[in-house]
Amino acid sequence: MRIKFVYGILPAFIIYTDKFLKPQNGGETRLMFIMIRSRFKDSEALLIHGLTHVKQCYRLLIIPHGLLLRFSGRYEQKIELEAYANQLKYHIDTNTFTDDKIDIFVNRIYKYHNKMGYSKERIRKLLLDKLKD
């Protein structure tokens, strides 16, 4: 286990494990705990995605964040777009970006985080708009 700090002082606990994760995920974040599959332990991009979720949790305080995540498809889509945009920014900043990354992330959002029923084209536009933030 590692500890990283978001906003300089708030802890994020990183656990490398293959347990408790959905089969399609390389990692998952629950509150301030980031679980990353062992084979992705060196993936800084995946860690950035998880740290974005920890920041979101702290930003809105833990209980409201959890409630919104559970009951608001719009909120879930918003936070996933932010996390995937930060992950893409990392790839762009480190010259590890490939053209297929956007398609991969759009497809993941469409398949696993699309309670709003958006088209892939709309998700792509929203993701690209988030990159500009």
Give buried/exposed letters for 76-95 (b at 16+ CB in 10 A, else e).
Answer: bbbbbbbbbbbbbbbbeeee
Question: Which stretches in the chain have pLDDT values below 70?
Answer: none
C-alpha span between 18 and 69 (Å, rounded): 23
Q: Which of 23, 40, 71 is the last residue of a domain?
A: 71
Per-state percent for the chain, helix, strand, coil, to nearest 5: 55, 15, 30
What is the distance between the alpha carbons of residues 133 and 124, in angstroms, rounded to a whole number?
15
Domain count, the chain: 2
Domain final position from 45, 71, 97: 71
Instruction: Give dist(CA 87, CA 44) in Å, integer.
Output: 9
- The tens digit of pLDDT for each residue in 30-60 reads 999 999 999 999 999 999 999 999 999 999 8
For residues 57 and 82, membership in a common domain is answered with: no
Give yes or no: residues 41 and 92 share one domain.
no
pLDDT score at 18? 92
Same domain, 80 and 45: no
pTM, to two decimals: 0.90
Q: From residue 7, give the alpha-carbon distance in Å to each of 3, 11, 50, 84, 95.
A: 13, 9, 14, 19, 25
Count CB neighbours of 15 within 10 A: 13
Confidence at residue 62, expressed as pLDDT on a 0 to 100 scale: 80
For position 2, what pLDDT does the model report? 96
